[in-house]
Structure 1
Amino acid sequence: MWLLVPAVSALLLVAYFLFPQEVPESVPVSSFDLNEAESPQQTETPPTVEPIQISPVVDVKGAVAHPGVYELSPEARIQDLIQAAGGFLPEADSRAINLAMKLQDEMSVYVPAVGEEILLPESPHSAAATGDTMVNLNTAAEAELTSLPGIGPSKAAAIITYRTDHGNFKTIDELKEVTGIGDKTFEQLKDAITVK
């Protein structure tokens, strides 16, 4: 009999470990869903703000069918302006114009005739001295650039290429970064150029 008590105790211990009692389902500490933890600001993409694009109003003169002022789309280029103006006249020197240049508001584009030279006045009392006819590095065509002292066709082409690749000139001093234009050339023409 005295052996029966330890045997029953041992059986109860084995049964306890082999057949665990049913434990009531645990209640989660919080029924808060982790997906709900993210705030709407974190999951929603903020709306993108589109930059305001201005339709440039541009004046075109010279050897085009219909000179005048035109308003074009924000992405328009000089080629689009020439088309809007009815195209080049037969005498137009189309090589003097960079047709790929993007238009800017208040820009003035002059299309020269073949053989036409655009010269800046040399008198200190002329309009050039007051800045009225200074050559704008950001809008000047090849013919205008070659009218500058020390600028031939190859340097004019280099200026246009630089402007196309790097965007508009911010200051006239940036002209010295163009291949072939050093301090000496810059000193010759700095009073005749501007950036707008």
Structure 2
Amino acid sequence: MVFVEVKGAVMKPGVYELSEGDRVLKAIEMAGGYIESSNPKHINHAERVKDEMVIYIPKEGEEVEESPLATNGSSQSSLVNINNADATVLTTLPGIGVAKAEAIIAHREQSGAFKDKQDLTKVTGIGQKTFEKLEPLITVK
């Protein structure tokens, strides 16, 4: 069994237990499906779910860097760009809640764009252990 978190524009956001090998489509169905204002066009419904995966469904008109699907970093298209991601997208990362997302944005606004991933450790509340979890999931394009 694997646990997957479904966030964003779905009827019932939350953590769901699925069988290994299940598809993203099943996780979205378990979350009650899309709300009317969702924008699922960048979601790979056929992708197999992975343990600790976060599936983020944006709303129509919401800007999302590359694919809004944040996985365990297994593919380039799922990386979150910490230089332009908003708080909603940042909170799809493990260990990043609203307060840390706001701290990342505040640091970015005060100090400019992150030059490399390691710069994320300069943000208050993000230590080396948190960074190690985030490194495979982020980019600084």
Q: TM-score, normalised by structure 1?
A: 0.38
Does structure 2 conserve the Cα–Cα contact (< 8 Å) formed by 1:119 and 1:147?
no
Q: Which residue of 1 aligns with 2:75?
A: 130
The Cα shift of 1:121 comes to 2.4
The 1-side partners of 2:69 and 2:128 are apart by 23
Report the counterpart of residue 185 of structure 1 in structure 2. Answer: 130
Counterpart of 2:70?
Answer: 120
Q: CA deviation at 1:142?
A: 0.6
Cα distance change, pair 132–112 in 1 and its aligned pair in 2 (3 A): closer
- Identity, in percent, stands at 47
Q: Choose between structure 1 and 2: higher helix proportion.
A: 1
Identify unmatched segments of 5+ residues in structure 1.
1-62, 64-90, 93-110, 123-127
User: What is the Cα-based RMSD across aligned positions, in Å?
Assistant: 2.7
* Superposition pairs of residues 3-42 of structure 1, within 5 angstroms: none
> C-alpha offsets along residues 162-187 of structure 1, whole Å, 9 cap, x if unaligned?
00111100000000000000011101
Runs of 4+ residues deviating >3 angstroms: none
Amino acid in the other structure paired with 1:192: L
- Residue 176 (str. 1) matches residue 121 (str. 2): yes
Higher relative contact order (CA 8 A, sep 6+): 2
Q: Is there any run of 5+ residues in structure 2 with no aligned partner, and where?
A: 1-8, 10-36, 39-56, 60-67
Question: Whose strand fraction is larger, Structure 1's or Structure 2's?
Answer: 2
- 2:101 maps to 156
Supply the distance in 2 between the matched residues of 1:157 and 1:139 (Cα, whole angstroms): 12
SS of the counterpart of 1:132?
A: helix
Q: Alignment length, in residue pairs?
A: 82
Cα distance in 2, alignment partners of residues 121 and 159 from structure 1: 20
Larger radius of gyration: 1
Q: Shift of residue 132 of structure 1?
A: 1.3
Distance, in Å, in 2 between the alignment partners of 1:168 and 1:194 is: 12
